[in-house]
Chains A and B, each alone.
Chain A
């Protein structure tokens, strides 16, 4: 019984970690789906969202205003990055825009280092979600329970948006054919902005949960979760939202189980990438991917 509750606990934290990766992975996969761009700056947008919270809260703004403010600022950051660094390169070779994305990634990291002095900053405690709770005999923090629930709700909302609304239909059309979408009267730029809004919003939600869980922010902290989420997106078949979510859960759970074993915990990151390599060898387009040939 002791054993069962131990594994339940591991599974729960695996699902939580997977949810966090999922929230970030959706931003990668959606931007890729529309622009065929790997937005290398996405993990750093996530990091910036962490610092936004730290500075907003330390300026004395109450939490119930800070949270929406962080969401808004992160969305604005994502949209501005697209406008300034990607939009002017829309007709350039894809490699140019990828390099621009790498540039933005380092720009954000360096900016954060400069601004914060490079030291880890403690993340403010959000009341309630950091409280302890016991479910099924497993004691944990509220956040461990809230994270997967919130993630699933957001994913469902996103799927409904994409499948059932006009803008969602526009996004699906633009992801297939820019020019014909324009002939329908769709404004490509607003659809692309919408994609960045959604991706940055989910990354911001992810950052609030992630940093409440891990409790501190550094300028390079976006790199590893960003990379894991990217792996999840590729794993699930980049461009596919369900793929990214499922990929994220698989990676989150596997990684947590490996980390729990002290003999192997040091290999947990290596494991993630080994898993990616195996999947790509067996299924080059990922679990739910479409043809990858003309992309990348």
Chain B
């Protein structure tokens, strides 16, 4: 299959600091691709650049063959890319239902089916439809952030550390959902600190260290890699 997203020679600077140093990442359509790496490696920066929040110093980013480098976030959403941001960032002053509706902000068609679908994936959200999102638990907020992202009917969903700060059982649930939405045909680009879970779920994985890609391979290969085991899998193996 073809690559849905191609990031070529991405360089991102913050002031004088080079956060991402000339990396290239290819995401094959229909797959789960993961990007692992230590704190400050530049993972979030990479996704935020694709989403149009951060402007790259240099790059060529193409989505379905179309150049989207440096485009505005609303254009990128309209092309079918969505980002579930680090730390969930649900709108605390909006209800659960409104958070879902705002995920479909650019859509003009009927969104009721998508709301029903999100509620099928996350029955807990349905029960809390009228609750303000700020009063949800961390796990529920993560579900909402994922559900909200699905509301734009993305072709590619990028997730920035969805398991951050969640109990293991909830993390398992989030990974089940990632596999489910991937089976529904949505390509997934996933950032994780939880390298073990991420590599198990991923078809392809990149390792990012201080702004540079140091390794890539199938999830299985990297799981078996000694240096990866040492650096990222720690005692979990």
Residues of A within 8 A of B (CB): 166, 169-170, 172-173, 175-177, 179-180, 182-187
Complex: how many Å from CA A176 to CA B133? 12
Which B residues touch A173, using CB under 8 A? Answer: 91, 94, 102
Q: By DSSP majority rule, is chain B's interface helix, strand, loop, or mixed?
A: loop
> Does B106 belong to the interface (CB within 8 Å)?
yes
Instruction: Encode B77-98 as 1/0 by CB contact (under 8 A) with A.
Output: 1100011010001011110001
Number of chain B residues whose Cβ lies closer than 8 Å to a Cβ of chain A: 24
Known: A169-B102, A173-B102. A183 touches B85 (CB 8 A): yes
Query: Do A186 and B94 have beta carbons less than 8 Å apart?
Result: no
Query: Do B77 and A183 have beta carbons less than 8 Å apart?
Result: yes
Which A residues touch B85, using CB under 8 A? Answer: 179-180, 183
How far is the CB of B99 from the nearest CB of chain A, in Å? 9
How far is the CB of A186 from the nearest CB of chain B, in Å? 6
10 A-B pairs with least C-beta separation: A185-B77, A185-B106, A182-B73, A185-B74, A180-B89, A184-B105, A185-B105, A173-B91, A184-B102, A183-B83
Complex: how many Å from CA A57 to CA B94? 45
Query: Do B82 and A183 have beta carbons less than 8 Å apart?
Result: yes
How far is the CB of A142 from the nearest CB of chain B, in Å? 40
Query: Do B105 and A166 have beta carbons less than 8 Å apart?
Result: yes
Which A residues touch B92, using CB under 8 A? Answer: 176
Complex: how many Å from CA A179 to CA B87? 13
Query: Do A187 and B74 have beta carbons less than 8 Å apart?
Result: yes
How far is the CB of B164 from the nearest CB of chain A, in Å? 16
Which B residues touch A175, using CB under 8 A? Answer: 93
How far is the CB of A203 from the nearest CB of chain B, in Å? 26
- Interface hits, B111-146 → A, CB 8 Å: none
Complex: how many Å from CA A187 to CA B78? 12
> Does B103 belong to the interface (CB within 8 Å)?
yes
Which partner residue on chain B sits nearest A178 by CB separation?
B53
Query: Do B89 and A177 have beta carbons less than 8 Å apart?
Result: yes
How far is the CB of A86 from the nearest CB of chain B, in Å? 20
> Does B58 belong to the interface (CB within 8 Å)?
no
> Does B51 belong to the interface (CB within 8 Å)?
yes
How far is the CB of B160 from the nearest CB of chain A, in Å? 11
Known: A173-B102, A177-B89, A187-B74. A182 touches B94 (CB 8 A): no
Given contacts A177-B91, A183-B51, A185-B152, 13 further A-B contacts (CB under 8 A): A169-B94, A169-B101, A170-B102, A170-B105, A172-B94, A173-B91, A175-B93, A176-B93, A177-B89, A183-B85, A183-B89, A185-B74, A187-B72
